């Protein structure tokens, strides 16, 4: 741009398309400019990043005299889009385009086993993904949507809470500014994150019980143990009488003649 085109009355030329309001970082964004049988004039499109720097813009004229306008944002944040014909802004110009990066979204709290009828909290960190609106959708195994309560934070750390009411695979779809975050795609449905709930016995609230150990059978050869009290030896009372002294041993020398 700029390109020459025809202009009729003011407001007959219009710009339409999602790229006027939202786009992904690093991906080509496109919107359309319709001339509506305008007389001669000049089309001018200017796209600037959050720092005010201009971005390259490509305009492609179609057979019906409308134009496809493309640009590729390289930063997240609010981009300014000015569309004018004959130095006259079109309706809605300048447009505010919010550029996000879904790859920068971090999801925490989803695991392979969720508790049945227990609130599941999913933390979504989008601080480095841009300021686009965040949405979380959850469907149960039958495809029915579950109620999701969102708690949004100005700092970019949002929280989504839902309540699984049956076992089986639950599908979670997370979007920022309408763009799905990348992740493991399940076999069916256009969702990005899949969490699996296990069987009810795993999901039910755990109960605790005291384990009673079986008694060991006594061996036939094993003699019963005597209680500790019985093993104590009783102290014998000391006698006050002196024991009789043994007679002294006398050495007797026999006469040799008397030896037998």
pLDDT of residue 254: 44
pLDDT of residue 81: 97
Sign of torsion over alpha carbons 201, 202, 204, 209: positive
Q: What residues have CB less than 8 Å from 116, skipping those under 6 apart?
A: 164, 165, 166, 167, 197, 200, 203, 204
At 91-144, the pLDDT tens digits run 999 999 999 999 998 888 776 567 888 888 888 998 889 888 889 999 988 889
Cβ pair 165, 117 in contact under 8 A: yes
Report, in angstroms and rounded to the nearest whole number, the Rg of the chain calculated over CA atoms: 45
Residue 216 has pLDDT above 70, yes or no: no
Q: Hey, do 3-100 and 102-203 end up sharing a CATH topology, with the first three levels equal?
A: yes
**Residue percentage of the chain with pLDDT more than 70:** 63
What does the alpha-carbon distance between residue 64 and residue 203 come to, in Å, rounded to a whole number? 60
The mean predicted confidence, pLDDT, of the chain is: 75
pLDDT of residue 117: 84
Residue 74 Cα distances to 25, 48, 125, 130, 241, angstroms:
5, 11, 21, 12, 114
At 52-85, the pLDDT tens digits run 999 999 999 888 878 999 999 999 999 999 999 8
pLDDT of residue 51: 94
> Bridge-partner residues for 43, per DSSP?
3, 85
What does the alpha-carbon distance between residue 90 and residue 83 come to, in Å, rounded to a whole number? 6
SS3 readout for the chain: CCEEECCCCCCCCEEECHHHCEEECCCCEEEEEECCCCCCEEEEEEEECCCCCECCCEEEECCCCCEEEEECCCCCEEEEEEEEECCEECCCCCEEEEEECHHHCEEECCCCCCCCCCCEEEEEECCCCCCCCEEEEEECCCCCEECCEEECCCCCEEEEEECCCCCEEEEEEEEECCEECCCCCCCCCCCCEEEEECCHHHHCCCCCCCCCCCCCCCCCCCCCCCCHHHHCCCCCCCCCCCCCCCCCCCCCCCCHHHCC
Domain coordinates of the chain in residue numbers? 3-100, 102-203
Most confident of 177-191, 200-214, 224-238, 245-259: 177-191
Superfamily, domain 102-203: Immunoglobulins (2.60.40.10)
Q: Identify the residue with better confidence: 43 or 229.
A: 43
Q: What is the pTM of this model?
A: 0.63
Residue 23 has pLDDT above 80, yes or no: yes
Question: Per-residue confidence at 204, pLDDT binned at 50, 70, 90?
Answer: very low
What does the alpha-carbon distance between residue 190 and residue 178 come to, in Å, rounded to a whole number? 13
pLDDT of residue 203: 39
Lowest mean pLDDT among 19-28, 237-246, 251-260: 251-260
**Chain-centre distance of CA 203, in angstroms?**
19
Question: Per-residue confidence at 188, pLDDT binned at 50, 70, 90?
Answer: very low
Superfamily, domain 3-100: Immunoglobulins (2.60.40.10)
At 129-180, the pLDDT tens digits run 988 888 999 998 888 999 999 998 887 788 999 998 888 888 888 998 989 8
């Amino acid at each position: 741009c700029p390109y020459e085109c025809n202009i009729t009355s003011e407001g007959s030329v219009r710009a339409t398309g999602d790229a006027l309001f939202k786009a992904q970082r690093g991906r080509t964004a496109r919107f359309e400019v319709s001339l509506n049988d305008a007389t001669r004039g000049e089309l001018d499109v200017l796209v600037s990043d959050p720092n005010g720097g201009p971005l390259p813009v490509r305009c492609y004229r179609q057979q019906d005299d409308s134009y496809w306008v493309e640009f590729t944002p390289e930063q997240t944040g609010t981009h300014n889009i000015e569309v004018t014909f004959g130095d006259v802004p079109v309706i809605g110009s300048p447009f505010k385009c919010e550029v996000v990066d879904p790859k920068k979204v971090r999801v925490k709290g989803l695991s392979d086993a969720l508790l049945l009828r227990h609130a599941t909290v999913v933390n979504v960190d989008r601080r480095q993904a841009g300021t686009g609106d965040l949405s979380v959708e959850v469907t149960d195994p039958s495809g029915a949507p579950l109620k999701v309560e969102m708690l949004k934070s100005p700092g970019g750390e949002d929280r989504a809470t839902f309540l699984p009411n049956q076992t089986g695979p639950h599908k979670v779809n997370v979007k920022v500014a309408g763009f799905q975050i990348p992740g493991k795609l399940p076999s069916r449905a256009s969702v990005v994150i899949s969490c699996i709930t296990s069987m009810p016995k795993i999901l039910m609230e755990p109960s605790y019980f005291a384990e009673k150990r079986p008694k060991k059978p006594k061996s036939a050869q094993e003699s019963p143990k005597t209680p500790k009290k019985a093993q104590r030896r009783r102290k014998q009372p000391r006698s006050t009488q002196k024991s009789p002294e043994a007679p002294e041993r006398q050495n007797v020398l026999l006469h040799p003649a008397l030896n037998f």
